[in-house]
């Protein structure tokens, strides 16, 4: 490990404005806060300013305005490189441009807004010639053994969050805190059987529908195929409306069973129907354990996704498989998804971790790792969820870390305990002066969890703190946060 060098500070007498001094101090702290200050991102990353999941779709598209079509298509993706489409954002865009990929609705986290934007971009002028895209990839992974999925939330909680433990013994899988695990889960067998019965399908198709195809989210090519096969013209017209993404088209958010039940005259050949469904992709989960205290095991923190629609419960495929159906005698296929989300190399560097809800996962890994290695750096955790009594995930461990001093600071935000919602960014604002001092000391800031709302608001709170405490204007605060990210002192694992 590198020995820590004292961080030089710009003297008060130096000919700089307070904002300039603050920025320079932050920059120096980044450099000296550890020899770990990493070089600027690869030039390619800089070429894609829209490649940030915290930006709105409109902002991303604006940043790509005037760029070649594959880049504008890329800007419409959710920017998570999560692999659920079988590509990363850049290669999916390139495959669509070249025509090697024909479905514009594969981006799961981007959902309908992304699919709509892609379709309208694709409808513009003729495709540009681009290099042949790489083949869609999907790591097959290795069989791991499911051990347990214990509930972390109390019985009265509105949420069901699970502490999932998997056994890696006998696999070649190795991970570091900050990595994610990709898990291939199968569809709910009861739903597969309902689909099979509606189609009066031959049982030989069952394994494919169970393990290989996503029956929860049919693509436009499925509705196109059904429209072409529909004997009833009204059904064909309604299916075409669905394919066109018409906002009034029903049934909304349909799964395959919904479509088969709503359009009984549409029965294309089964092989074609199955081929039109998207491949069932692994889901990613931030790893919530360090390999040091739990060698040979990996632990996750998974929010169970369930919703009621048209009097039928809609289960998230992987989260419900792990919570309700997985057993130790049925191996799961898993792979490690390496991350840029990393603890500072210098164990003395302070860290600020902001992770409400399941965003706590990698921070449990970080804290376990710092405890196991005896790292002396200060640790500050911002955590929150709906109610303290039922939703304080990993409460005994976190409280023990606070008591034994591993956690120098713990800021908790319960959104539904009181009359007014309190969020992690409110706690950050309350502690602005201390937070700023930590940043001046070279702290690294990490954010994990919800991309669409929380990560954006936390980003804004950081800028406001820089403006108030560092006496910066909005442009200077933006430059400061960009510099922080370039030094790898501001890292996000958001979804």
Ligand X SMILES: Cc1cc2nc3c(=O)[nH]c(=O)nc-3n(C[C@H](O)[C@H](O)[C@H](O)COP(=O)(O)OP(=O)(O)OC[C@H]3O[C@@H](n4cnc5c(N)ncnc54)[C@H](O)[C@@H]3O)c2cc1C
Ligand Y SMILES: NC(=O)c1ccc[n+]([C@@H]2O[C@H](COP(=O)([O-])OP(=O)(O)OC[C@H]3O[C@@H](n4cnc5c(N)ncnc54)[C@H](OP(=O)(O)O)[C@@H]3O)[C@@H](O)[C@H]2O)c1
Assess 344 for contact with ligand Y (CB under 6 A). no
Q: Which of ligand Y, ligand X, none does residue 477 bind (CB under 5 to 8 Å by kind)?
A: none
Q: Which secondary-structure segment (H or E) carries 182?
A: strand 180-184
Q: Which CB sits closer to ligand Y, 198 or 306?
A: 306
Nearest Cα to 144, choosing from 196, 194, 97, 184?
Answer: 184
Hey, which residues between 229 and 268 contact ligand X (CB under 6 A)? 253, 255
| Total chain residues near ligand Y (CB under 6 A) | 21
Assess 493 for contact with ligand Y (CB under 6 A). no
Q: Which CB sits closer to ligand X, 51 or 217?
A: 217
H helices of 374-490, in order, are 388-391, 395-404, 424-430, 432-440, 454-469, 474-486
> With contact defined as beta carbons under 8 Å apart, do 480 and 26 qualify?
yes
- Using N-to-C axis directions, what is the helix angle for 361-373 and 395-404, rounded to 10°? 40
Hey, which residues between 361 and 390 contact ligand X (CB under 6 A)? 361
Assess 356 for contact with ligand Y (CB under 6 A). yes
- Please state, in angstroms and rounded to a whole number, the distance separating the CA atoms of residues 94 and 71: 8
Helix (H, G, I), strand (E, B) or coil at 214: coil
Shortest spacing between CB 74 and ligand Y, in angstroms: 21
What backbone phi and psi angles, to 5 degrees, belong to 306?
Answer: -145, 140
Nearest Cα to 409, choosing from 382, 377, 442, 443?
Answer: 382
Q: Which of ligand X, ligand Y, none does residue 364 bind (CB under 5 to 8 Å by kind)?
A: none
Assess 103 for contact with ligand X (CB under 6 A). no
Assess 216 for contact with ligand X (CB under 6 A). yes
Query: Which range binds ligand X by CB under 6 A, 55-63, 168-176, 202-210, 317-325?
Result: 317-325
Q: Which of ligand X, ligand Y, none does residue 159 bind (CB under 5 to 8 Å by kind)?
A: ligand Y
Hey, which residues between 141 and 200 contact ligand X (CB under 6 A)? 180
Shortest spacing between CB 406 and ligand X, in angstroms: 22
- Please state, in angstroms and rounded to a whole number, the distance separating the CA atoms of residues 72 and 42: 20
Assess 316 for contact with ligand Y (CB under 6 A). no
Determine the straight-line distance between the first and last CA of the chain, rounded to whole angstroms.
32
Among 144, 288, 406, 424, the residue binding ligand Y under the rule CB under 6 A is: 424
Assess 358 for contact with ligand Y (CB under 6 A). yes
- Please state, in angstroms and rounded to a whole number, the distance separating the CA atoms of residues 10 and 16: 9
- Please state, in angstroms and rounded to a whole number, the distance separating the CA atoms of residues 257 and 194: 7
Hey, which residues between 403 and 422 contact ligand Y (CB under 6 A)? 415-416, 421
143 pairs with which residues across the strands? 333
Shortest spacing between CB 65 and ligand X, in angstroms: 26
Distant-in-sequence, close-in-space partners of 245: CB < 8 Å, separation ≥ 6: 112, 115, 116, 119, 220
Q: Which of ligand Y, ligand X, none does residue 82 bind (CB under 5 to 8 Å by kind)?
A: ligand X
Query: Which range binds ligand X by CB under 6 A, 94-102, 233-241, 271-279, 282-290?
Result: 282-290
User: Which string of DSSP letters, residue by residue, matches 250-294?
Assistant: SSTT--HHHHHHH-TT----HHHHHHHSPB-PPEEEEB-S-TTTS
- Please state, in angstroms and rounded to a whole number, the distance separating the CA atoms of residues 265 and 227: 9
Query: Which range binds ligand X by CB under 6 A, 194-202, 302-310, 406-414, 460-468?
Result: 302-310
Beta 306-309 vs 297-303: how paired, if at all?
A: unpaired
Assess 326 for contact with ligand X (CB under 6 A). no
Assess 457 for contact with ligand Y (CB under 6 A). yes
Assess 223 for contact with ligand X (CB under 6 A). no
Shortest spacing between CB 175 and ligand X, in angstroms: 13
Hey, which residues between 124 and 163 contact ligand Y (CB under 6 A)? 159
Half-sphere exposure (CA, 13 Å, Cβ side) for 116?
9
Q: Which of ligand Y, ligand X, none does residue 357 bind (CB under 5 to 8 Å by kind)?
A: ligand Y
Assess 353 for contact with ligand X (CB under 6 A). no
Q: Which of ligand X, ligand Y, none does residue 323 bind (CB under 5 to 8 Å by kind)?
A: none
> With contact defined as beta carbons under 8 Å apart, do 164 and 350 qualify?
no
Sites of contact with ligand Y (CB under 6 A)? 159, 303, 356-358, 384-386, 415-416, 421, 423-425, 449-450, 452-454, 457, 495
Sites of contact with ligand X (CB under 6 A)? 80, 82, 180, 216-217, 253, 255, 283-286, 301-303, 305, 307, 314, 316-320, 358, 361, 493, 495
């Amino acid at each position: 490990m590198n020995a820590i060098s004292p961080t030089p500070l710009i003297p008060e007498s130096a000919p700089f404005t307070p904002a300039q001094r603050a920025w320079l101090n932050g920059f120096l702290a980044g450099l000296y806060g550890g020899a770990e200050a990493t070089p600027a991102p690869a030039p390619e990353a800089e070429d894609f300013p829209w490649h940030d999941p915290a930006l709105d779709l409109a902002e991303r598209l604006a940043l790509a305005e005037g760029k070649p079509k594959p880049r504008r298509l890329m800007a419409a993706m959710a920017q998570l490189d999560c692999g659920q489409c079988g590509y990363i954002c850049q290669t999916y865009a390139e495959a669509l441009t070249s025509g090697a990929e024909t479905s514009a609705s594969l981006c799961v986290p981007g959902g309908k807004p992304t699919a709509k934007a892609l379709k309208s971009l694709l409808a513009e002028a003729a495709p540009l010639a681009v290099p042949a895209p790489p083949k869609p990839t999907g790591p097959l992974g290795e069989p791991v053994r499911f051990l347990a999925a214990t509930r972390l939330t109390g019985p009265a909680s509105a949420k069901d969050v699970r502490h999932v433990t998997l056994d890696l013994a006998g696999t070649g899988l190795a991970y570091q805190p900050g990595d994610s695990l990709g898990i291939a889960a199968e569809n709910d067998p009861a739903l597969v059987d309902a689909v099979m019965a509606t189609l009066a399908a031959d049982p030989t198709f069952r394994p494919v529908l169970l393990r290989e195809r996503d029956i929860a989210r049919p693509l436009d090519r499925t509705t196109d195929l059904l429209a072409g096969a529909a004997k009833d013209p009204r059904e064909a017209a309604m299916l075409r409306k669905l394919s066109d993404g018409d906002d009034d088209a029903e049934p909304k958010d349909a799964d395959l069973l919904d479509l088969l039940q709503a359009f009984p005259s549409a029965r294309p050949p089964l092989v074609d129907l199955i081929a039109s469904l998207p491949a069932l992709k692994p889901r990613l989960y931030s790893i919530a354990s360090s390999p040091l205290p739990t060698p040979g095991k990996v632990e996750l923190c998974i929010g169970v996704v369930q919703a009621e629609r048209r009097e039928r419960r809609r289960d998230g495929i992987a989260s419900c498989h792990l919570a309700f159906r997985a057993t130790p005698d049925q191996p799961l296929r898993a792979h490690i998804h390496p991350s840029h989300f990393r603890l500072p190399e210098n164990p003395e560097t302070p860290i600020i971790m902001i992770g409400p809800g399941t965003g706590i996962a990698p921070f449990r890994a970080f804290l376990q790792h710092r405890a196991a290695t005896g790292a002396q750096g200060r640790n500050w955790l911002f955590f929150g969820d709906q109610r303290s009594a039922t939703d304080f995930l990993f409460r005994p461990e976190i409280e023990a870390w606070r008591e034994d001093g591993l956690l120098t600071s713990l800021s908790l935000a319960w959104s539904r305990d009181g009359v007014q919602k309190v969020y992690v960014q409110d706690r950050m604002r309350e502690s602005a002066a201390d937070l700023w001092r930590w940043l001046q000391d070279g702290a690294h800031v990490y954010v994990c969890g919800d991309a669409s709302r929380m990560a954006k608001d936390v980003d804004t709170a950081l800028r406001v703190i820089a403006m108030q405490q560092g006496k910066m204007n909005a442009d200077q605060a933006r430059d400061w946060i960009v510099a922080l990210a370039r030094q790898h002192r501001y890292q996000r694992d958001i979804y």
